[in-house]
Amino acid sequence: MSIAVASPAILEAHEPLASRIARVACAVSLEQLPAAVVEKTCVCLMDLIGCAFESKDLPWSRQARAMIDALPDGATVIGAASRTGYGDAAFVNAVMGHGLVREDMHAGSISHLGIVVLPTLFALAQMRRVRGADFIAAVAVGYEVGGRIGRALMDAEVARIHRPTGVTGPVAAAAAGARLLGLDVEAATSAIAIAANTILGFNQWAHTGGSEMFFHAGFAARNALGAVRLAQAGAFASPSALDGEAGMFASLRKRSAAAKVELFRGTPELLSVYHKPVPACNFAQTPSQAALEVVRNSKVTPERIAAIRIRVPRAGALYPGCNYPGPFAHVLQGKMSIQFNVAAALMTGRVAESNFELLKDPVLHRLIGMTTLEIDEAMTAAYPGQQGGEVEVTETTGAVHRARLADVVNASADEVRERFRGALSSALGSARAAQIEQAIGGIERSEDVGAFIALLGER
């Protein structure tokens, strides 16, 4: 698809990137988007909300809620009885949406865009009455901006230090928020530029299992919300904050890559997002699925395993925390480690939250000790269009079992829906869960998205 926003005479070649993004973002309407965008938005909403309910009692979710104040009015915190300030609600909802490490994934940008874009829009939709058609258009803008910027900026080297979601998220959510509130091009440009000044997140957490990973999403959502509100109040920020000589792209030594960012050329980035089948790092998904296939096909048991060989794309082997054999002091170390997830899958025949109770298990550590992880050149060439993985298990008898997947097997829309129903029915009861699901299904026709978001709080 291609969205026309202005005549060629208006769009000058040297126009700063933030301005170019703003022009497109402000012009997007639901009518211009493929019908599949509506359905995908609904699935992304169910995925985020379901994850937030499932993770709301985990330590990082409790810690995020502990730092906010209950208010008689304001924005809804998912699963909470009281409301809070808009920025705080965006922060907490983003942290909880990220809490399981099972959030939606955009492989091309190595980013989890929904955990920043959606909480930002939730808060803004409760600040001012907005229609569902505008909400969906804003969601599409957010994923598009984050996806395109991430494709231009992110590679294995950048991601070894900088958290991709912390870089793409604030700008993506600010562009989405500007579209939701109907800001003009100048104000939207400033919102995007201000957000660029808040990009954050280092990947050192992955070496230690630190919880800052979860808070990256919260900071990004709160900062995006602040950027939009500042621009709405008249704040001016440099239109060249993204691609200028001292701008965001230059800070990552990728200034020339800014010229690659073109929005809505071809399939919208929202439709490239996949939903994780298991609660672990993106790069652990495919090898874990390959390990399960080995178990299903061979019935191999841990005591019969003599060696394990894992093959992944270069991006997976280099991402912090993914090529880590232990020791495991924190759950997040297990969720990030490809070796841990493969060994646990071979040992238990599943990839589930319960696997991360095995951090100290001697059998699991014996399996990890006989594991090697290799970079596969064919998978590297296919990435990010495909994210392959292979597991080869050698038995003590010499028998070899191998499973190779060309791409990750995504959680289907039906699977996301079932997870959502289970989480909400458990927390709120089946009647309320059905009411929320119905509201999501009809969001395109809604005259007040904030009323739907209010349903997510406990009563």
For 254-310, write each residue's pLDDT tens digit.
999 999 999 999 999 999 999 999 899 999 999 999 999 999 999 999 999 999 999
Same domain, 246 and 138: yes
254 domain residue, yes or no: yes
Same domain, 291 and 396: yes
Q: Which domain holds residue 262?
A: 17-275
Whole-number pLDDT of residue 458:
76
Residue 60 corresponds to which tokens in the numbers above? Answer: 């990082």
Whole-number pLDDT of residue 324:
97
11 domain residue, yes or no: no
Same domain, 351 and 313: yes
82: left (phi over 0), alpha (psi -120 to 50) or beta: beta
Neighbouring C-beta atoms of residue 395, cutoff 10 Å: 16
Whole-number pLDDT of residue 14:
82
392 domain residue, yes or no: yes
Whole-number pLDDT of residue 3:
64
> In whole angstroms, how far apart are CA 394 and each of 114, 347, 349, 390, 410?
40, 14, 17, 13, 27
pLDDT in tens, 389-431: 999 999 999 999 999 999 999 999 999 999 999 999 999 999 9
In sequence order, which residues have a C-beta less than 8 Å from that of residue 55 and are 6 or more positions away?
61, 96, 97, 98, 99, 100
Same domain, 297 and 227: no
Q: What's CA 408's distance to the chain center, in Å?
A: 16
Question: How many domains does the chain fold into?
Answer: 2
Same domain, 40 and 122: yes
> Whole-model pTM?
0.93
427 domain residue, yes or no: no
Whole-number pLDDT of residue 12:
46
Same domain, 248 and 312: no
Q: Which residues of the chain have pLDDT under 70?
A: 1-13, 459
Same domain, 38 and 86: yes
Domain of residue 291, CATH code: 3.30.1330.120
Same domain, 172 and 40: yes
Long-range own/partner contacts, residues 428-434 (CB < 8 A, 24 or more apart): 428/53, 428/458
